[in-house]
Amino acid sequence: MINTRLNEQDPEVFRLVEKETERQNQNAEMIASENFASRAVMEAMGSSLTNKYAEGLPGKRYYGGCKFVDVVEDLARDRAKSLFGAEWVNVQPHSGAQANAAVYLAFMKPGEKLLGFDLSHGGHLTHGSPVNFSGIMHEAHFYGVEKETGRLDMNRIRDKAKQVKPKMISIGASAYTRDFDYEAFRDIADETGAFLWMDMAHTAGLIAARLLNDPIPWAHVITTTTHKTLRGPRGGMILVGRDKENTLGVVAPKSGRVKNWSEVLDSAVFPGTQGGPLMHVIAAKAVAFGEALQPDFKTYQKQVIRNAKAMGAAFVEMGYNLVSGGTDNHLLLIDLRNKNLTGKTAEQILGRAEITVNKNMVPFDTESPFVTSGIRLGTPALTTRGMKEPEFEYLAKLINKVLSAPEDDTIHLGVAQEVKELCERFPLYDAAVV
Ligand SMILES: Cc1ncc(COP(=O)(O)O)c(C=O)c1O
């Protein structure tokens, strides 16, 4: 055990941090929305910047003493802009859901219509779900994937948009394994007079590495998390790609002045939906964007996709049904109905075997969201540890071993040992991360 201030002062919390680090070290982490941030990112998050109030923006704060955090926030903004080729960013949203809340506040009035990607087909809660503010405050309509292909059909989405006439169309997903046709979405948005919003929370790292289609030139506004494929601290961000014709101009109610997106979005973050920004997290975002600008980030992201494709092919060979038949990105969605298993059971027994996945609805699911018919697997975290195609193919076999013997605890515990040995070959953190 290492000696730290935390250990000396509060051994109870320290031991829990230590246990969690041990769990992350010894476990095959396959939750698609998780990743392992670098030590440098975590050090910035654990820094003195947590003490600083800095409401406002660099150079325009409501508090004194901001001369250093101003530079930090400018660094984060400049790095994010060059990483994504964006004209404008706001790095203050505390999370992905907060970034999305600011987009709604900026562009939608209560009761106006949204056309979003159906949650049960891969979308996200904040895209109009009736249990989320987005669906409670607005009239949400949905598009989904086709039953036969598991993919979006742009003609069907166009028809739906013409019928609904939404104020805003959202793109982006938590469990969609294929890429989006942003140009076609923009065409539909222009034809129907809607704003186009892309939530790239899951795929931001792959987009930054230019391995997937780029939404920046097409969507009016883009939101993301910074902690999934982007591998930064837990947080959110809003970007605007282009506003050349000021088609995005919004008229200020009192003065009648045409405001641009940046003004509207900045004030939707603060004071609209948040108070003081988390400057320690913004520093960690700057560090993560700096990492993502290095050439080896692209190598990492390429491997993330290669690993997902290799694992997908291994599952198909073993008779598993992948929604859409495979993947273009970092995740796989397995429909377990032909294996007579629910997502809930699969998540539980894989957990016994030290493989962490999450149960997930599949399109046209017949089970409830608490049970589900599928599991979602992601490759970003284990790829960060250095695992490549052979390890992911081996893990697919281990998963199959567990799922083929749902009642056999001896097999589950045997697999847990194999997972532990695999993880030991790809060390993560050498001590409790504090
Ligand atoms: C597409 C999408 N948007 C938004 C979010 C919300 O992000 P956060 O958990 O940081 O609020 C998620 C999280 O999984 C997501 O997948």
End-to-end CA distance of the chain: 12
Identify the pLDDT of residue 230. 98
How many domains is the chain partitioned into structurally?
Answer: 2
- Are the C-beta atoms of residues 121 and 145 closer than 8 Å to each other? yes
- Please identify, among 292, 321, 349, the residue that sits at the C-terminal boundary of a domain: 292
Which CATH number does the domain housing residue 337 bear?
Answer: 3.90.1150.10
Rounded to 5 degrees, φ, ψ at 150 are: 70, 15
In a domain, 341, yes or no: yes
Q: What is d(CA 162, CA 170) in angstroms, rounded to the nearest whole number?
A: 15
Note whether 341 and 211 are same-domain residues.
no
Residue 241 confidence (pLDDT): 84
> Residue 4: what pLDDT?
84
In the reported structure, the alpha carbon of residue 131 is separated from the centroid of ligand 1 by a whole-number distance in angstroms of 15
- 189 and 137, same structural domain? yes
Question: Which pair of structure tokens corresponds to residue 174?
Answer: 């938590």
User: Cα(397)–Cα(17) distance, rounded to whole angstroms?
Assistant: 31
Place of tokens 């947590």: 50
Rounded to 10 degrees, the C-alpha dihedral 123/128/131/133 comes to 130
**Residues 49 and 184 placed together within one structural domain of the fold:** yes
Hey, what are 227's tokens? Answer: 């902690």
Distance from residue 124's CA to the centre of ligand 1 (Å):
7
Please name the amino acid found at residue 145. V
Pocket (CB within 6 angstroms of ligand 1): 33, 95-97, 100, 124, 126, 172-174, 199, 201-202, 225, 236
Q: Is residue 326 part of a domain?
A: yes
Atom of ligand 1 nearest to the CA of 123: 1
- pLDDT of 257 reads 57
Nearest-atom index, ligand 1, CA of 98: 11
The per-residue pLDDT string of the chain (434 residues; one tens digit each, 9 = 90 and over) reads 566 899 999 999 999 999 999 999 999 999 999 999 999 999 999 999 999 999 999 999 999 999 999 999 999 999 999 999 998 999 999 999 999 999 999 999 999 999 999 999 999 999 999 999 999 999 999 999 999 999 999 999 999 999 999 999 999 999 999 999 999 999 999 999 999 999 999 999 999 999 999 999 999 999 999 999 999 999 999 999 865 444 555 555 455 555 677 888 999 999 999 999 999 999 999 999 999 999 999 999 999 999 999 999 999 999 999 999 999 999 999 999 999 999 999 999 999 999 999 999 999 999 999 999 999 999 999 999 999 999 999 999 999 999 999 999 999 999 999 999 999 999 998 765 55
Do both 132 and 237 map to the same domain? yes
pTM value is 0.95
Q: Between β-strands 28-29 and 355-356, what pairing exists: parallel, antiparallel or unpaired?
A: parallel
Question: Residues of 172-210 as b/e, b for ≥16 C-beta within 10 angstroms?
Answer: bbbbbbbbbbbeebbebbeebebbbbbbbbbbbbbbbbe
Is residue 270 domain-shared with residue 308, that is, in the same domain? no
Question: Looking at the domain assignment, is residue 281 inside a domain?
Answer: yes
Q: For residue 263, what pLDDT is reported?
A: 82
Q: Which of 81, 234, 259, 420 is catalytic?
A: 234
Residue 105 structure tokens:
């506040």
d(CA 185, CA 198): 10
Question: Do 323 and 279 have their domain in common?
Answer: no
Tell me, yes or no, whether 23 lies in a domain.
no
Domain of residue 414, residue span: 296-424
In a domain, 79, yes or no: yes
228 exposed, middle or buried (CB, 10 Å; 0-12, 13-18, 19+)? buried
Tokens matching residue 310? 């290799």
Residue 194 lies in a domain: yes
- What sign for the dihedral angle of Cα 292, 217, 94, 270? positive
Report which DSSP code applies to 119.
Answer: G
What is the pLDDT, as a whole number, of residue 260? Answer: 73
Query: Token digits for 125?
Result: 């809660």
Contact 345/365 with Cβ under 8 angstroms? Answer: no
Same domain, 272 and 147: yes
For 33-60, write each residue's pLDDT tens digit.
Answer: 999 999 999 999 999 999 999 999 999 9
Give the CA angle between residues 333, 337, 338 to the nearest 5°.
Answer: 105
The verdict on 108 and 236 lying in the same domain is yes
Give residue 264's pLDDT: 87
pLDDT at 244: 44
How many C-alpha atoms does 394 have within 13 Å on its Cβ side?
Answer: 13
- Shared domain for 111 and 183, answered yes or no, is yes
User: Which pair of structure tokens corresponds to residue 8?
Assistant: 């000396």
In a domain? residue 12: no
- Whether residues 249 and 321 share a domain: the answer is no
Work out whether strand 358-360 and strand 236-240 pair parallel, antiparallel, or are unpaired: unpaired
Q: Among candidates 225, 251, 231, which has minimal Cα distance to 172? A: 225
Question: 365 and 242: one domain?
Answer: no
Contact assessment for residue 289 and residue 83, using Cβ atoms and an 8 Å cutoff: yes
Cα 6 to ligand 1 centroid, rounded to whole Å? 30
Indicate whether 419 belongs to any domain: yes
CATH label of the domain that carries residue 113: 3.40.640.10
- Residue environment code for 256-285, b if the CB has 16+ CB neighbours within 10 A, otherwise e: eeebebbebbbbbbbeebbeebbbbbbbbb
List pLDDT tens digits, range 322-345: 999 999 999 999 999 999 999 999
Considering 237, 270, 292, which residue would you say is the last residue of a domain? 292
Q: Which of 15, 34, 43, 53 is catalytic?
A: 53
In degrees and rounded to multiples of 5, residue 336 shows phi and psi of -95, 10
User: Domain boundary at 251, 277, 292, which?
Assistant: 292
**Which residues lie below 8 Å from residue 327, measured CB to CB, with a gap of 6+?**
177, 178, 305, 308, 309, 312
Does one domain contain both 137 and 165?
yes
- Gap from CA of 169 to ligand 1 centroid (Å): 17
